[in-house]
Structure 1
């Protein structure tokens, strides 16, 4: 009788140990971390590049509502431009509608030296603009350093921050 009791206890104890090992293994599988700093995220980079191409096309098509749709306006949206104080989403939208809505012809809209860095659901796009835009008979040339911060949303990659600074041109 003692032997049966000892064997039963050994079996129960064995199942408990096996169950503990399974739990430990499952926890370890969940602990796999992605190196956000060094991982390349090639599929996300392609998505962001397509979003940038769509932004350019919306400007060329003078489709201001589409251009605005690439922004995620809300309480966290910010913009810096020309050394002025920070703007919010409302100010950014008013500015973009005013400026891009007044363009009568896009002569050139180049995004030079563009670099896309993805950090999971966040992407940073940096570039040098070479925009030649006509406003009636007036030509405006815009050469800036631009940083756009994107967030992956249910509607795709959307801009949550913009930074524009004058680009020093070589003479």
Structure 2
């Protein structure tokens, strides 16, 4: 009987030791998880790439579908079967995205008045040092050739992957900012 109690106690002790090791390892992994790691150099590189994208759009606005700045803008994309853009409730593949970018910025827009992110909204999260998620709320003011001055306030997510030493776009997501309809009390009657 004593031998049986000893085996049960050892078995329970081993289980508790294993459970304790798992919990402490889980805490250690959580504290050092990829979510918590920062990659300052990679973040700076992504922001530099984003700045170059903005410069290409600004300089190339209205300069033509096949202008040098539109070619430069397109060079920041890693087109292929995996690329997808969500915009205006639609999904676009590589060819669709390239056409949209060249048409909008190279042909439809006369010039860019302002290319900015709403203050405090620009964030860059880097994972494993080679995948980056850049998010912001756009505060773009564009001079459209047909519609005149337009403001674009979208929730934008740009997914980058570092390939051959350069950060390339592999996904874009653009959604309009939700603005609740406000009704003035004195207009209800």
Give the TM interval when normalised to the shorter protein.
Answer: 0.7 to 0.9
Moved more, 158-167 or 34-43: 34-43
Structure 1 stretches of 4+ with a deviation exceeding 2 A read 168-171
Unaligned runs of 5+ in 2: 1-31, 61-68, 183-189
Aligned partner of 2:14 in structure 1 is none
Aligned partner of 2:144 in structure 1 is 135
Q: How far 1:155 sits from its partner (Å)?
A: 4.9
Aligned partner of 1:104 in structure 2 is 110
1:115 aligns with 2:120: no
Q: How far 1:87 sits from its partner (Å)?
A: 1.2
Q: How far 1:134 sits from its partner (Å)?
A: 0.9
Counterpart pick for 2:157 among 147, 150, 160: 147
TM-score (norm 2): 0.68
Q: How does 1:48-59 map to 2 (within 5 A)?
A: 48-59=46-57
Higher gyration radius (CA): 1
Number of aligned residue pairs: give it: 137
Aligned partner of 2:59 in structure 1 is 61
TM-score (norm 1): 0.75
Q: How far 1:141 sits from its partner (Å)?
A: 1.4
Aligned partner of 2:175 in structure 1 is 165
Aligned partner of 1:90 in structure 2 is 95
